[in-house]
Structures are given as C-alpha cells and as structure tokens.
Structure 1
Amino acid sequence: MEFKRQKYMDALVERMHNGMIKVVTGIRRSGKSYLLFNLFVRYLMQQGTAMDHILTMQLDRWDMRRYRDPDMLLSWIHERMTDEGDYYILLDEVQFLDHFEEVLNSLLYESHVDVYVTGSNSKFLSNDILTAFRGRGDEIHVYPLVFSEFMEQYDGDMYHGWADYATYGGLPQVASMKTEQQKITYLQSLFKETYLKDILERHKLKYPEGMEDLVNVLASSIGTLMNPTKILATFQSRFHSKLSLNTIRQYIDFLEEAFLIQKAVRYDVKGRKYIDTPVKYYFEDVGLRNARLDFRQVEETHLMENIIYNELRCRGYLVDVGVVNRRILDEESGRMLSRQLEVDFIASLGNKRYYIQSAFHLPDEEKLRQEKASLLALSDGFKKIILVKDVMRPRRGDDGILIMSVFDFLLYPHGLDEVFA
C-alpha cells in the first residue's frame, strides 16, 4: 500500500535547487524516509536524473555508522561526484552525523549539489542550529496521514474509516496493517520501545517511570487546559511522585522535541495578547495516544478535537486557543460579571483567520447556544465555524456562524476558503 503524500512531494519539488538545505522533519514512522528515498527519488528518475547522481545515505543504520564521521561522509560524497552535472544528496536521520550543521553548510559551497536531509528530533532545528545554517535551512515537517490521505487507500466508507482513524491514527505502517491486533501491538510497542526509549537514552533520564507517568497524564488530558503546576499536583496525589516542577517542565520539552506532542497557547482575542499558561496539549498521532492508554479512553469528543488541531497544523495554520472576556448580567445579584469564554481554535495564516469550535453533536438548541456563545462575543469580520460529526449540508445562520460536518472539513484539504466560503 502506497500513499502519495502529494502535499510533501509538491513542497520538495518547489524547493529544488533553491540554494538551501531541505530539512524533512517529523515523528518517527511518519513516512519521512519513504517520502525522500522512494517517492522523491522516483520523481527525480522520472525527470531524467541518473541514479548515480542521486547519493543516498541512511545514517541510523548500524552498518553505515562509519559514515557518521564527517570526513568519511564527505569523502564518500566527493568520490561519487565525477562530473559537473547536478547531484542530489539525500541523508536520512542526519542527527546521527557528528557536526552535521558544518558538514551540510560545506556542501552548499558546491554549486551543482542539492541537499535533502531528514531528522526525528527537533533539537537539531533549534535557533542555534538554524544560525549555524546561516539562514539556509528550509524545513518541511511531515505529519502522519491526515484523514483525507488515510481514505485514499481505505477499503470502506468514511464512517468506518473515521472509526479506524480515530482509534489507530495515521501512521502509514499502521494504516497498511490488516488486523486490529496487529495495529494494537505495533502501536504499543512503538511508543514504548522506540519513542520513549529514544527520549530516555538521549537525555539519560534519572526517573524513567516519571516520564511514563507524565505521558499517561497528558494522554488522558488532551484538549484540557494544563500547566506544569497542575500536573505536579496530579503527580503528588496520584503517584506520590518526587518529581520537581522543573523536571516536569523539562520532560514536557523532551516530548515536544520528539514531535510526540504539540501545545496550543491561549490568545486573548480582544486584548490581542498571548496568555502563557495554562495551555492545551495534543498528540501528533491519536493512535499513539490511544495506545499509550491501552485503548481504554477512546473518547470521540476529545479525539475529534485533536484530529482537527492536527489537520489545521498540517495545512500550515498557526493554531491557538481563543479566550474572550464577556460581561454578562448575573440574575441573582443583578450585577454585571466578567466571564471568560473559550474558542477551541483560532487558525491563522497570513491575513486569514478562522474561529473554529469542535462540537461533535448539537442535539438541541441549548447545546447550540453554548457553542455559539464565544463566537458571538467576537466582533471582527473573520469567519466563525462550528464543526460537528453529524453528516449534514453546511448551513449559515443569520448570525453568520457556519455549521458544517467535520467530514467536509477533513476531506477537502484546500477547503478553508472553498468549502467555508
């Protein structure tokens, strides 16, 4: 089973010969290597590039470990560049290469070289590393399959597809598996033996059980406002843990660096300012999140919110949690009170902005009123949308709020302007 990953292929092709290092990042098993070493190599060959002008190296392989030495790798590359034609250098898991930023920068001095690398740890894209690239690093972040990509190869209708996707997520390998038991075993093993093991070994953590407990807390709390102090209180009451506040903050950073989780920061819409804490955490892949909890907490309400967040991020939007302060009349006291309302997502891209609520179901007028409350408190002219799981025709009320099915949103990757018009 092969997924086209067209969005990422287009991004690679658009960046060819731009004089920059194309850095393909993403969580392990998201399909970075297949994208670069299969789909992109195939494209180059279809365009007439000779195979001996495509130099590939997978640095995470044990039998290739000698090429983690910069001089060995550079010698290997230069020995194979025998003419003045264009050469494409593709390096997998480049964080294994010693002094990789200096090596990559040195390759840019070759006028006929186009460089592409992958990496699974965001630490090598820190500000210091980007400075070392001298502004010549160009990132392409690869997400697990979004729902529209997942459905390209799914053998069934979108309702069964949604059930599988919300349960097992979008890692390409998982989507190719035939049985539920295969998927469950693979995801559980992958989380523990690959993702967590990577973090524990890379950072030499003294309290590995504390990291495991933290992952469980975050997995149980997707879409919930959290901060390290609140997490610390949970640790002390539930686990009787001795982890410090600073250690919890550090462990969260490690999870973000490994692309396992992402955070959405709160934004005061009327005050036009960010609120540092608390924040919401979402998992890069909902299947991994479910696996961490042994598939015991598969609540579609929260999973739908996580899936919407990932979809927006994949489409390139900056995604915040909206906060709106509104004064309301307290019927008992007769006084005006300040009330803080929440917009699930503020999606921004350039001069575009969308306010989005994830409502799952709208069974009655009271629920509809609740979901609209924060959107109606916004006075600007940006589009306001409520996404529901129900299959329905999009409808816009007199208040200008659009209500539409999450399936219409997910299955139209370019639809924010077209579908939401």
Structure 2
Amino acid sequence: MINRLFKLQELLQNQKALVIYGPRRVGKTTLLKDYLKRTQLKYKFDSGDNITIQNLFNSQDFEKINAYAGGYELIAIDEAQQIKNIGMGLKILVDNNPELKIIVTGSSSFDLSQKIGEPLTGRKKTILLYPFSQQELLNKYNKHELKEKLSDFLIFGSYPEVITTEKQSDKIEILTELVNSYLLKDILSLGGIRGAKELLDLLKLLAFQVGSEVSLNELATQIKMDVKTVARYIDILEKGFVIKRLAAFSRNLRKEIAKKSKYYFWDNGIRNAVILQFNGLSDRNDIGSLFENFIMMERTKYISNNFIYTNSYFWRTYNGNEIDIIEERDGKLNTYELKYAENAKVKQPKEFFNEYSEAQFHFINSANYLNFILP
C-alpha cells in the first residue's frame, strides 16, 4: 500500500470539520477508511448516498441531528456533496458538540463548497487530495526508479488504480472509463450542462493547448459557443478537479500579457484519455507539453501536500519572451523554465530581470526535475 502524506489524526481539531476534497477514485474513501481502522476514537461512518442520512441532515432538526451523533467521538461522512443541507447540518454538530470530531469527503468542490461554505465559515479545515504525487510514490520506488518510469507518468499519469495496474491496456481502460463516467456524466449533471459534445470539444482544445496561453474568445469561436458559456464551462471544469488555471504575472509593464491564462490538466493520464493518445514518447510531438503539465501539477501537489503558501504565475510579453512558472513567496520571486531536453538552450528574458532584478532563475529538465518536486 502506498501511504498518503496526509495524517488525518494530526489534522483533526475540535469544533472544526475536516473536509477532504478531490476527484473521484483518487483515494479519499481509502484514506478515510484506513484512518478509521486505526483510530481509537468511537466513530460512526456513513455515506451521503444514504437516503436516510440525506433526510436527516436536510431536516435541519437540531434534536435529531445531535441525537445522531450522541455517544460518538467522531462522525465520518463520505460523498457528503450528495446531502443538500450538509453545511447547516455540520454547523449544528460543530456548535453543539465541542468535543466531537468530524470528517467529510466530497468529489466535487463546486457542489460541496457551495453547501458548506457559508455555514461552516471558521468551522472547517480543508485539504485537497490529488492523484499520487512523486513524493508519495517514494514509498514504492526510489528516485532512480521514479526517473526510469518518467515516460509512464507522462503518458498514464498517477491515479491510484493506474499506478497499481501493470498492463498498459488496463491503464488505458481505467483512464478512458474515468473520462467517460466522470467527466462526461458527473460534470454534465452537477454543472447543469446539456451538451456533452461541446464539453468534450472544449476539453480537447484545452488538451492541445497545454502550456500555451488560452483566449476564451478564440475557444468560443473554434467550438461555436458563446464566450460566457465557455467561461462557465471552464469554471466548472476547474471546480470539478479536471483542469487547473495558471494566471499571468504582471506589474503593469506595457508589454506584459495580463489577461490570458494557461490551463493544465490535474493528471496527464486524463489529458491523454481526452484526446485518446497513449502512444510512447518516441512517437509523439507533444513531449514538451506533457512534461510541462506533469511538472506543473507535481509542483502543485508538493506545495499543497506540504502546506507551503505561495502564489504561482506564468509570464509572457507580446513580443514572445516568457517564463513558464513564477513563484512569489515571502516577498521573493523564483522563476522556472521547463524543458524536457537536458541540453535545451535556455535564455533568461532580459526584460523580466531588468525589471525584477532580485528574482532567481532556475532551469528544470528531465535530468534534474526531481529536485523541484521532492523535498
């Protein structure tokens, strides 16, 4: 078993619900049940799919909800987004049971966050569970082995089922099933989206533009949709843990691009499943995009899993100068250029460093990337 970095016993607090977000089949339920097997606390475990639990929390009946938790030290609810009034129900438990510990999981932030956001203000701690990070995979492989498997991570990603499956054909089946059942069903239903074809067309366009600035107007023109609808779809895809937005860094220099964004897929395997491309690296022309997506998301996992507080951006000017990642932390700027080839020629953009002279420059490639995404 590959251990996750999060230790739930260390994250639990009295009078605060612990909320675990993340995509389906990323291991939230496994993480929760593994903790429940080991805890000494007297607990009650339920699922938001249970109609009885839905009716209980939807009732907002103080007496019944408090009675539900009576005699227990821990309440754990999986798939809590299925409960319409889960936020108010949890608030009742938190406010009236100061020693009670609470854990809830949810597969859709745009559904669950709306339900618990306001009622649980100041009453929750939130963590994001990603597909396995390289840091977590050190439990299974050493650094040499991780580098040997880089091509697999670039093509098939790191969903738990994918990592624990040996045959490539099985990995492909898992990923295509994830796309078809989660992206095209859950996202459609939870987001109130009617057009499956339009959503898939948008995802394909984003998949082919990984690492490039994206214009919503251009996307709208290409798939013949209203730009406001495109913006709404992208927002839902972000909140549904499918894509991640990277904003542009700009301090109002005249040539800096400020309004466009870049989008990365939470998982390389999902990106490749959207466009049905699982061929090896020697037969691909998108290795640079795959590597950039992989590094961006592994760095995101590292920052999130280790509770590092930083702002991340990209930088580009209208005349083509660019920096792939800028991290702003504690008043300091670190810049990173990402290239798969170890011997790639990389130049520091003079315009940027003339303006931000204290910034540090780093070149990340397929030879040294582990230093950027591991402790």
TM-score, with normalisation over the residues of structure 2?
0.86
- 1:178 pairs with 2:147: no
Q: Which residue does 2:307 correspond to in 1?
A: none
2:9 is aligned, of 7, 13, 29, to 13
The whole-number CA distance in structure 1 between the counterparts of 2:328 and 2:22 is 22
**Residue 208 of structure 1, CA deviation:** 1.7
CA contact (8 A) 1:232 1:244 kept: yes
AA aligned opposite 1:16? L
- 1:3 partnered with 2:2: yes
Contact 1:147-1:165 within 8 A present in 2 as well: no
- 1:381 pairs with 2:370: no
1 CA distance for matches of 2:77 and 2:332? 36
- Structure 1 residues 249 and 343 mapped into 2: Cα distance closer, same or farther (>3 Å)? same
Q: Of 360, 365, 369, which residue of structure 2 is paired with 1:406?
A: 369
Looking at structure 1, the residues matched to 351 and 156 of structure 2 have their Cα atoms a distance apart, in angstroms, of 32
| Helix, strand or coil at the partner of 2:118 | helix
1:20-55 Cα deviation digits (max 9, x unpaired): 1111111111111111221x224423xxx3xxx111
Deviates more, 1:109-118 or 1:131-140: 131-140
Does residue 96 of the first structure (1) align with residue 82 of the second (2)? Answer: yes
Tell me whether 1:344 sits opposite 2:333 in the alignment. Answer: no
Unaligned runs of 5+ in 1: 236-240, 326-337, 391-404, 415-421
Give the one of 145, 150, 158 matched to 1:162: 150
- Give yes or no for the alignment of 1:318 onto 2:307: no
The question of whether the paired residues in 1 share the 8 Å contact of 2:257 and 2:315 is answered with no
Aligned to 1:354: 334
Alignment size in residue pairs: 359
Q: Equivalent residue for 1:332? A: none
**Bigger-Rg structure (1/2):** 1
Alpha-carbon contact 2:17-2:104 (below 8 Å) kept: yes
Deviation, structure 1 residue 181: 0.4
Q: In the alignment, is residue 289 of structure 1 matched against residue 271 of structure 2? A: yes
Q: Aligned partners of 1:257, 1:220: CA distance in 2, in Å?
A: 20
1:276/1:373 Cα in 2 relative to 1: closer, same or farther (>3 Å)? closer
Q: 1:29 aligns with which of 25, 40, 51?
A: 25
Query: Does 2:181 correspond to 1:193?
Result: yes
Provide, for residues 259-279 of structure 1, a one-character-per-residue CA deviation record: whole Å limited to 9, x for no partner: 10010010115759x965211
Q: How does 1:108-257 map to 2 (within 5 A)?
A: 108=94, 109-124=96-111, 126=113, 129-154=116-141, 157-235=145-223, 241=224, 243-257=225-239
Q: Is the 8 A contact 2:154 2:269 kept in 1?
A: yes
SS at match of 2:324: strand
Residue number in structure 2 paired with 1:70? 56
Contact 1:342 1:374 in 2 (8 A): no
**CA 1:374–1:287 in 2, change beyond 3 Å: closer, same or farther?**
farther
Within the alignment, does 1:57 sit opposite 2:46 as a pair? yes
1:327-375: CA deviations, max 9, x gaps? xxxxxxxxxxx845221111234445421110222536xx233x56566
Letter of the aligned partner of 1:408 in structure 2?
A: N
Deviation, structure 1 residue 139 = 0.9
CA contact (8 A) 2:322 2:349 kept: no
Q: 1:291 to 1:36 in 2, by over 3 A?
A: same
CA separation in 2, counterparts of 1:376 and 1:351? Answer: 16
Amino acid at match of 2:108: N
Distance (whole Å) between structure 2 residues aligned to residue 90 and residue 81 of structure 1 = 14
Aligned partners of 2:161 and 2:20: how far apart in 1?
Answer: 18
What is the distance in 2 between the residues matched to 1:372 and 1:387?
16
Stretches of structure 2 lacking an aligned partner (at least 5 in a row)? 305-309
Counterpart Cα distance in 1 of 2:300 and 2:19: 18
Contact 1:261 1:282 in 2 (8 A): yes
Q: Which amino acid aligns with 2:137?
A: F
Matched, 1:300 2:293: no
RMSD: 2.8
Residues 149, 378 of structure 1: CA spacing in aligned structure 2 closer, same or farther, 3 A cutoff? farther
% same residue:
23
Please report the TM-score for the alignment, with normalisation by the length of structure 1: 0.77
Do the aligned partners of residues 345 and 125 (structure 1) sit closer, same or farther apart at CA in structure 2, a change above 3 Å counting?
A: farther
Task: Report which structure shows greater RCO (CA 8 Å, sep ≥6).
Answer: 2
- 2:69 and 2:169 map into 1 onto residues whose CA distance is 46
Aligned counterpart for 1:368 among listed residues 343, 346, 355: 346
Against the structure 1 CA distance between its residues 30 and 284, is the aligned structure 2 distance closer, same or farther, given a 3 Å change threshold? same
